[in-house]
Structure 1
Amino acid sequence: EPHFVQALPYGPYVYFFFREVAVELSALGKVVVARVARVCRNDQGGSPRVLERRWTSFLKVRLQCAIPGDTVFYFDVLEAVTPPRALHGRPAVLALFGTQPNRHGGRDTGTRIPGSAVCAFYLADVERAFEGPFAEPRGTAGTWAPVPEDRVPRPRPGCCAGMGLAAGVVTSGDFPDETLVFAKEHPLLHGAVAPAGGRPLFTRTGTRLTQLAVDTGAGPQGNQTVVFLGAEDGRVLKVLAAAQHPRATRHPGSTPAPGDSREPGDTGDTSAETLLLEEISLYDPRRCRGPRGASRVLGLELHPPGRELYVAFTGCLVRLPLSRCARHGACRRSCLAARDPYCVWLPPRGCVPFSEDLPSGFEQDVEGSPGITGTCQDAPAAGDGDGDLAHGVRQAETGAAATVPVPVLVGCVLGAFTLGALAAGLLAACYRRPAVPKGPLESPATPRPLAQPPAPRLYPLLPPQGGAGGLWDPPELPTPEATPQPPTKMPQERVAEHRRGQATHLNTPGCPEPPGPGPPPKATL
């Protein structure tokens, strides 16, 4: 059940980094281990008799990343591998490992105690491991043991045709059948490739790391190594690996892992203290939507020309600057105590990112001098005589999201609500009109008589008699014979009279609208 992680061409070989269930540890259950395999670039397959159209130079060996001690703690699940980098002047790869899953009930899924580690492997040690003894099972218990060297055929299986011990072999199909059969039956090598220094460069518990990227040329002198690690919860860790020289002395407390090989004069010391520079939370579900588990970092890619790191999630791609020096503001001690190889202190500009065009006179303390510790909120430290330009001030970087404390936010909401209520009350008081009484005030105890509705008029008003200006109400209903004939009026007089009647009706409360004027009466001679 192999799971391939990385393929890297290097020299005449192509290296494959993967993880699989260890057949040599089947007595312990379903144990996953990390492997590195090697294939010759000029491998064209075997002869028509053996390994036809199959690799003749395929060999694999275990990668070991563990914390040494009385009880060795292994990180066996390979997660990511970097391309070859110059580490302490030697070609090496950095690999990220995790802890074993805890499968239960025969299911493939399970829980695990989260933990991760970063180990470095020199490619010279990897090549030397492929020259070690082959492994084969022995006995009924299923234990694996090394194959005696006198049983290994010549040319040695795994050699490239036309090179080294197989210089007389033209193509991979010209190997003897004995060599091809042995390579088919013994693809696994005994032992394991130990990490540089015999221990991990960096370990982290409680968090599962998924990706890594490394910059081996950080700092003004280009001799610092910075490792960027992506976690499954959307965070990015920035780790400084202390600069060491290949011939440095070994730390007294370090213990080399079994099988650790070194070149003459090389102590292989990389066990110096590493420093976690920053822990940045990048995943934002509001801007980077995705399915469940979308916060997992899927990839990290460095862009040295732009001094940026690209972080890939399921639903978005985030660009992160390598240097975040603005967070130190104008605090000299905070800038120097951060030990960030990408930041330098340059008066009077403050803490700025390092670049080749900076003037001389900047300061940097990657090694961590004892005299430069603490922050600007503390008492002045020794050697910091010029003081700081600002005390306890940290300027947020450009584009960073500013956070507001919860008490301030609650106070702003309450203040806005109070101001809004006062403004609404003032507006209501200004626009309210007082009621003006239309008649004399009456005592509240005096009962008011009910208003009697006026009697409706059944007939239209008649013109006055005898030239009087008032209206005349007949005492009795007139008869057709006694009804006088109205004088003949012009159309203009009828219109004016109709308008006067409408005005009188409208000014009388409770009166129904009189019927409209009918046809004009006929004039009699």
Structure 2
Amino acid sequence: EPHFVQVLPYGPYIYFFFREVAVELSTLGKVLVARVGRVCRNDRGGSPRVLERRWTSFLKLRLQCSVPGDTVFYFDVLEAVTPPQTLHGRPAVLALFSTQPNRQGQGDEGTIPGSAVCAFYLADVERSFEGPFAEPRGATWTPVPEDRVPQPRYPPPHTWVLQGAADTVSPRRLCRRPGCCAGMGPATDFVTSGEFPDETLVFAKEHPLLHGAVGPAGGRPLFTRTGTRLTQLAADTGAGPRGDQTVLFLGAEDGRVLKVLAATRRPETTQHPRGTPAPGDTRGAGDSGDSRDTMTLLLEEINLYDPGRCRAPRGSGVPSRVLGLELHLPGQELLVAFAGCLVRLPLSRCQRHGTCRRSCLAARDPYCVWLPPEGCVPFSEDLPSGFQQDVEGSLGIGGTCQGECLTGGPAGVRHPGPGASPTVPVPVLVGCVLGAFALGALGAGLVATCCHRPAVP
């Protein structure tokens, strides 16, 4: 049975995202694959002879998320799909995939657990539904030749009266293929889906699967993780002062939430127009800015599940499994659902960087900015000018202050942090010990020389 993950009305269609056992891969056993299907919004079913009270426009094809290479690695099991997002100015959805579950009897020696996030432009999805139909040929599935695909035409001719003369005119507008919507585009002359010819309806009934697959934007996943099975996904594609950063929030089976920066353009200074770079900030050695267009950075990994405070009812499965993620942007928080409780997580935890400028900028968190003299604070539209941020890492700042914090004073002036104890470098300490030993030996020699008296014969 198919497992439906998301239903998405978009344009004249309703899209279904689900996973099911692949009939085209039956020779390999029960292999789960991700699918995207669609039906027309105005689909009222077929004629009394074929597909009565059943969809006439339902088509489906594979949704593919894989890592390219000499050996392609597939993430086939669809776990979650976001609502439509704006990615690079284009409508898209982001989807979470995992590897095949361990088959019965394999135990821990089955598939290595892993997950990936792929983005799909909705225009690419819609275009893929124009691909060839698929049908079985022996043990394999092959494309259906176009000359075997029926092209429905409006059945009865119309009689038009032109200048007093009766002329018979057949509009015969082509509906390019089964699965198109009645009353729209090439099928304008079909008022309802029940008017399609029986030949078209029979073909649609026997060929719901299309050949090929929808590939991810950029040709590869935005993020991959091995050793962990992720279960839920939420995405903010308008993060940061400019609203041009994408942050992924991923829930895992063990109760953790991963916060991931998925940057998708070449690194460059992300200084806000109102912000100014601090003195001494330069590009790090070897950082030419010619990295790949797609970069991913794990910002945080937070363990939210507390078995003492979040008790799940019996029979609810894995109690630590994240069952849902919901972004609440007005409140700048993420709602995390478990079987026994609901946890509110702030999108930014800038206070953990305190007044350490280096740590704040090196974190590359789109939700945090450095604002002297307050320190590392969450970004908001009402902040004064002069804040700094380095999401792409183009300033080459890294590391932490290691017990020392930088304030908003002159550049290069360091102030001991709270609770910091004074320390002495090891070379200086060794030099002092050797010097003290040498001075002690010299003093002892002088005293012995001055106090020495010759023996009396």
Q: For this structure pair, what is the TM-score category when the shorter chain's length is used for normalisation?
A: 0.7 to 0.9
**Separation in 2, partners of 1:131, 1:203:** 30
**Separation in 1, partners of 2:112, 2:246:** 29
Aligned with 1:217 (options 224, 238, 242): 238
Contact 2:264–2:293 under 8 Å retained in 1? no
1:43-67 Cα distance to aligned partner (Å, 9 max, x none): 0000001000000000000000001
AA aligned opposite 1:67: V
| Deviation of the 1:373 alpha carbon | 1.1
Contact 1:377–1:392 under 8 Å retained in 2? no
Aligned with 1:385 (options 411, 415, 426): 411
2:309 maps to 1:287: yes
Q: Indicate the residue corresponding to 2:375 in structure 1.
A: 350
1:397-416 Cα distance to aligned partner (Å, 9 max, x none): xxxxxxxxxxxxxxxxxxxx
Q: Indicate the residue corresponding to 1:202 in structure 2.
A: 223
AA aligned opposite 1:81: V
1:108-135 Cα distance to aligned partner (Å, 9 max, x none): x995421000000000000001000000
Q: Kindly tell me: are residues 392 and 211 of structure 1, through their superposed partners in 2, closer, same or farther at Cα, counting changes over 3 Å?
A: farther
SS for the counterpart of 1:293 is coil
Bigger drift between 150-159 and 34-43 goes to 150-159
2:191 maps to 1:170: yes
1:1-57 Cα distance to aligned partner (Å, 9 max, x none): 201111000001000000000000001111100000000000000000100000000
1:298-324 Cα distance to aligned partner (Å, 9 max, x none): 000000100000000000000000010
**Separation in 1, partners of 2:105, 2:400:** 53
**Separation in 2, partners of 1:270, 1:93:** 22
Q: Indicate the residue corresponding to 1:133 in structure 2.
A: 132
**Separation in 2, partners of 1:378, 1:32:** 51
The structure number with the bigger radius of gyration is 1
| Deviation of the 1:150 alpha carbon | 1.3
Q: Indicate the residue corresponding to 1:32 in structure 2.
A: 32
Q: Kindly tell me: are residues 389 and 88 of structure 1, through their superposed partners in 2, closer, same or farther at Cα, counting changes over 3 Å?
A: farther
The alignment-based identity, stated in percent, is 80
AA aligned opposite 1:313: F
Asked which structure has the greater RCO (Cα within 8 Å, sep 6+), the reply is 2
Q: Kindly tell me: are residues 132 and 90 of structure 1, through their superposed partners in 2, closer, same or farther at Cα, counting changes over 3 Å?
A: same
Q: Kindly tell me: are residues 207 and 105 of structure 1, through their superposed partners in 2, closer, same or farther at Cα, counting changes over 3 Å?
A: closer
Bigger drift between 371-380 and 236-245 goes to 371-380
SS for the counterpart of 1:319 is strand
AA aligned opposite 1:133: P
| Deviation of the 1:371 alpha carbon | 3.1
Q: Kindly tell me: are residues 171 and 317 of structure 1, through their superposed partners in 2, closer, same or farther at Cα, counting changes over 3 Å?
A: same
**Separation in 1, partners of 2:310, 2:111:** 27
| Deviation of the 1:388 alpha carbon | 5.1
Aligned with 2:256 (options 235, 240, 247): 235
Contact 1:82–1:213 under 8 Å retained in 2? yes
SS for the counterpart of 1:103 is coil
Q: Indicate the residue corresponding to 1:506 in structure 2.
A: none
Equivalent runs, 1:399-418 vs 2, <5 Å: none
Contact 1:298–1:312 under 8 Å retained in 2? yes
2:54 maps to 1:54: yes
**Separation in 2, partners of 1:63, 1:393:** 54
Structure 2 length-normalised TM? 0.77
AA aligned opposite 2:245: Q
2:92 maps to 1:92: yes
1:349-402 Cα distance to aligned partner (Å, 9 max, x none): 000000011000000000102531111029999xx93445554889xxxxxxxx
Equivalent runs, 1:315-334 vs 2, <5 Å: 315-334=340-359
Q: Kindly tell me: are residues 133 and 312 of structure 1, through their superposed partners in 2, closer, same or farther at Cα, counting changes over 3 Å?
A: same
SS for the counterpart of 2:23 is coil
Q: Kindly tell me: are residues 59 and 232 of structure 1, through their superposed partners in 2, closer, same or farther at Cα, counting changes over 3 Å?
A: same
The answer for unaligned runs of 5 or more in structure 1 is 246-268, 395-525
Q: Kindly tell me: are residues 348 and 389 of structure 1, through their superposed partners in 2, closer, same or farther at Cα, counting changes over 3 Å?
A: farther
**Separation in 2, partners of 1:2, 1:356:** 45
Q: Kindly tell me: are residues 110 and 185 of structure 1, through their superposed partners in 2, closer, same or farther at Cα, counting changes over 3 Å?
A: farther
AA aligned opposite 1:295: S
**Separation in 2, partners of 1:327, 1:105:** 46
SS for the counterpart of 2:265 is coil
Q: Indicate the residue corresponding to 1:17 in structure 2.
A: 17
Q: Kindly tell me: are residues 354 and 75 of structure 1, through their superposed partners in 2, closer, same or farther at Cα, counting changes over 3 Å?
A: same
**Separation in 1, partners of 2:210, 2:386:** 55
Q: Indicate the residue corresponding to 1:184 in structure 2.
A: 205
**Separation in 2, partners of 1:372, 1:199:** 29
AA aligned opposite 1:325: C
**Separation in 1, partners of 2:265, 2:389:** 18
AA aligned opposite 1:298: L
| Deviation of the 1:335 alpha carbon | 0.2
**Separation in 2, partners of 1:323, 1:274:** 18
| Deviation of the 1:270 alpha carbon | 8.8
1:465-498 Cα distance to aligned partner (Å, 9 max, x none): xxxxxxxxxxxxxxxxxxxxxxxxxxxxxxxxxx
Q: Indicate the residue corresponding to 1:124 in structure 2.
A: 123
Q: Indicate the residue corresponding to 2:272 in structure 1.
A: none
AA aligned opposite 1:157: P
**Separation in 2, partners of 1:172, 1:359:** 59
| Deviation of the 1:288 alpha carbon | 0.4
1:225-280 Cα distance to aligned partner (Å, 9 max, x none): 100000000000000011439xxxxxxxxxxxxxxxxxxxxxxx995111000000
**Separation in 2, partners of 1:169, 1:160:** 9
Contact 2:356–2:405 under 8 Å retained in 1? no
Q: Indicate the residue corresponding to 1:145 in structure 2.
A: 142
**Separation in 2, partners of 1:117, 1:300:** 17
AA aligned opposite 1:144: W
**Aligned residue pairs, count:** 366
Point out the structure with the larger strand share. Answer: 2
| Deviation of the 1:165 alpha carbon | 1.6
The answer for unaligned runs of 5 or more in structure 2 is 152-174, 267-290, 421-457
**Separation in 2, partners of 1:136, 1:33:** 17
**Separation in 2, partners of 1:102, 1:347:** 53
Contact 1:331–1:390 under 8 Å retained in 2? no
Q: Kindly tell me: are residues 69 and 392 of structure 1, through their superposed partners in 2, closer, same or farther at Cα, counting changes over 3 Å?
A: farther
2:180 maps to 1:159: yes
**Separation in 2, partners of 1:117, 1:393:** 42
Contact 2:404–2:417 under 8 Å retained in 1? no
Q: Kindly tell me: are residues 376 and 99 of structure 1, through their superposed partners in 2, closer, same or farther at Cα, counting changes over 3 Å?
A: same
**Separation in 2, partners of 1:327, 1:134:** 55
**Separation in 2, partners of 1:123, 1:27:** 31
AA aligned opposite 1:170: V
Contact 1:377–1:391 under 8 Å retained in 2? no
Q: Kindly tell me: are residues 102 and 273 of structure 1, through their superposed partners in 2, closer, same or farther at Cα, counting changes over 3 Å?
A: same
Contact 2:404–2:415 under 8 Å retained in 1? no
Q: Indicate the residue corresponding to 1:7 in structure 2.
A: 7
